[in-house]
Amino acid sequence: MDRLLDIVETVAAQKLSTLVAVLSAAGLNATLKSVGPYTLFAPTDIAFAKLPSNTVSELLQPENKERLNSVINYHVVQGRVMSDQVIELKSVRTGQGQALRIYADHGVRVNDANMIKADVEASNGVIHVIDSVLLPSATAIM
């Protein structure tokens, strides 16, 4: 039997290349490879492309590491929260400190992002793929 990949390896296997780059630049690979468990709301490459032009390249600059870290930690929740649990919640606290709002009336939305693929298992948590980048309220993007 194949071993289950950790969150970072699973993000790469899901071909979420922009997220792979920002996790590395934010210095979160070690955290998301650790025991966890964690839940990651993972934006697609298309989600990152919807941000204003040059946003991702600006966030990847070393001087913006703290802001990038805040944005990415806003996508991480402590614990393994499967989709059947997500739909029962109204909100969930993130690693960044703020809460994400959960709506499960017509599909599942996290803030303004739609969950497009749920329950991607990892050895140290679960990934839910979303169609938008989540932005904490105090983070001005460019």
pLDDT per position as a tens digit, 87-137: 899 999 999 999 999 999 888 999 999 999 999 999 999 999 999 999 998
Which pLDDT belongs to residue 138? 62
The helix (run of H) or strand (run of E) holding residue 83 is helix 83-86
Task: Indicate the pTM of the whole model.
Answer: 0.92
Domains observed in the chain: 7-130 (2.30.180.10)
Q: How far is CA 3 from the centre of its chain?
A: 23
| Token pair for 37 | 């468990």
CA neighbor of 50 nearest in space, from 114, 137, 126 = 114
- Distance, in Å, from the CA atom of 13 to the CA atom of 27, rounded to the nearest integer, reads 19
138 close to 49: Cβ distance less than 8 angstroms:
no
**3-state percent breakdown (helix, strand, coil) of the chain, nearest 5:** 35, 25, 40
Question: How would residue 142 be classed by pLDDT, with cut points 50, 70 and 90?
Answer: very low
Model confidence pLDDT, tens digit, residues 66-78: 999 999 999 999 9
